[in-house]
């Protein structure tokens, strides 16, 4: 995804995107997701593979008695080097009671964003459908991609939610 000509689109639709965000890294890009969706952050454990699921669904883990699916966003979006070591981070999300883990390259910070810091997304062709991107925020020289993680994780393409049960 190119990062240069983004600021062209100045109109900020008063989206209520204001709030605190957890920022994480995928490849060279920085992303942010609403902090209230995050349940916890933990290391990467051995997962139990599930047959006949897309490659980015790593499998399920036992999270204190709950069976939680783990999705590797790096594989899903073809970003970064996919390797699993002691630094691999899993963000456990709680999306309306549904618990899902996402594997990312790293977690950096929690930041509060004001509405005027958030810009709309221009139409681009990316592996993330822009409808899952709430907006873009500029922090010093860095650009933060704010993801509507709930929409994304429950979307059809993530194959996490029942829709195509044979």
Partner 1 sequence: MTIDMSQFYEVFFDEAEELLAEAERLLLGINIDDPDNEELNAIFRAAHSIKGGAATFGFMDMTEITHVLENLLDKIRKHEMALTAEHVDAFLAAKDVLKMELDGHRLATDVDQDQVADVKMMLKQLSEAGATPAPATAVVAPPSPVSQPVDAAPVQTEVADGISCFNIVMPDITEKDVENLKEELGLLGDVAVSKQADGHFVITLTTDSSEADIVSICSFIVDPDDLVISLKANSVASSATMPAAEVNPIAAEAVESKTASSTKVLIHEEVGYGLFEEDGKEKQEEGYGFFAPFQPHPDAVKSELIGDDTTLTLSNSGVTNAQPTTGAAKPEAVAGSGLAQEVERKNPGRRESDKAPASAEASSIRVGVEKVDQLINLVGELVITQAMIEQRISMLDPVQNEALINSVGQLTRNTRDLQESVMSIRMMPMDFVFSRFPRMVRDLAAKLNKKVDFATIGATTELDKGLIERIVDPLTHLVRNSVDHGIEIPENRRKAGKSETGTLTLSAAHKGGSIVIEVTDDGAGLNRDRILAKAHSNGLAVSESMTDSEVFSLIFAPGFSTAEVVTDVSGRGVGMDVVKRNITSMGGAVEIRSALGFGTTISISLPLTLAILDGMSVSLGESVYVIPLNLIVETLQPRAEDIKTVTGEGRMVHVRGEYLPIIALHSLFNHATDITDPTQGVLVLLESDGKKSALFVDRLVGQQQVVIKSLETNFKKVLGVSGATIMGDGSVALILDVAALIQMGQSTNYITGAASFSNQNNQHMQRNA
C-alpha–C-alpha distance, residues 144 and 141, integer Å: 10
Shortest Cβ 159–partner 1 spacing (Å): 8
Q: Which residues are near partner 1 by CB under 8 A? A: 46-53, 59-62, 64-69, 98-100, 159-163, 165-166
- In sequence order, what are the beta bridge partners of 31? 24, 145
Shortest Cβ 1–partner 1 spacing (Å): 29
Q: Which is nearer to partner 1, 41 or 99 (CB)?
A: 99
Task: Specify the DSSP element, H or E, that contains 150.
Answer: helix 149-153
In this structure, the number of other CB atoms found within 10 A of the CB of residue 124 comes to 12
Q: Which is nearer to partner 1, 26 or 160 (CB)?
A: 160
DSSP for residue 50: -
- In sequence order, what are the beta bridge partners of 136? 119, 145
Q: Which is nearer to partner 1, 14 or 163 (CB)?
A: 163
The dihedral of CA 116, 121, 126, 131: what is its sign?
positive
Shortest Cβ 129–partner 1 spacing (Å): 20
Q: Which is nearer to partner 1, 110 or 161 (CB)?
A: 161
Shortest Cβ 48–partner 1 spacing (Å): 4
């Amino acid at each position: 995804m190119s990062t240069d000509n983004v600021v062209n689109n100045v109109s900020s639709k008063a989206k209520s995107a204001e709030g605190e965000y957890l920022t994480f890294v995928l490849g060279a890009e920085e992303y942010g997701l609403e902090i209230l969706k995050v349940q916890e952050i933990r290391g990467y454990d051995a997962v139990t593979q599930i047959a006949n699921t897309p490659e980015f669904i790593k499998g399920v883990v036992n999270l204190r008695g709950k069976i939680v699916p783990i999705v590797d966003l790096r594989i899903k979006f073809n970003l970064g080097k996919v390797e699993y070591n002691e630094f691999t981070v899993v963000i456990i999300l709680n999306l309306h009671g549904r618990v899902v883990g996402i594997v990312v390259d790293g977690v950096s910070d929690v930041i509060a964003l004001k509405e005027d810091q958030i810009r709309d997304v221009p139409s681009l062709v990316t592996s993330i459908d822009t409808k899952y991107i709430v907006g873009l925020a500029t922090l010093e020289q860095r650009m933060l991609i704010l993801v509507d993680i709930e929409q994304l994780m429950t979307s059809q393409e993530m194959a996490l939610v029942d829709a195509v049960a044979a």
